[in-house]
Structure 1
Amino acid sequence: MDVEEDSIQVKCMHRNGVNKYFWPRPREDVSWYADEQLLCLIPEPKALNKRSVQLEKLTWKYLENNFM
């Protein structure tokens, strides 16, 4: 959402099961993170239904193998 010298503002999704995420309501979850806290960039998740999204299977596998 915004970038400063050594940090980035991110609008976060919440996890709802294995590789399922949703935008929290009614309040957004917006936080600032230092550059060293960022793990990687991911492609935009694909919609599962009106409220939930899911990462592509290859992206999810990569995250599982490297960060979980």
Structure 2
Amino acid sequence: MNWDQIKGQWSQLKGEVQAQWGKLTDDEVIQAGGDREKLAGIIQERYGVAKEEARDQIDKWAKKH
């Protein structure tokens, strides 16, 4: 699934995002709004990982969907 599709289906995917990254709050997931870079920044901040690591995690998650 590409990011245009993910962004379009964000409301359906929010639960799966929270299942993958359980430390994210509802507000943070809503704030990301399907934007890969926003989501990476939130994951980076919440989990204390490098931005590239957050992007890698997101890409692996996206490949499953």
Shorter-chain TM-score bucket reads under 0.3
Higher relative contact order (CA 8 A, sep 6+): 2
More strand by share: 1
TM-score, normalised with respect to structure 2: 0.26
More helix by share: 2
Which of the two has higher C-alpha Rg? 1
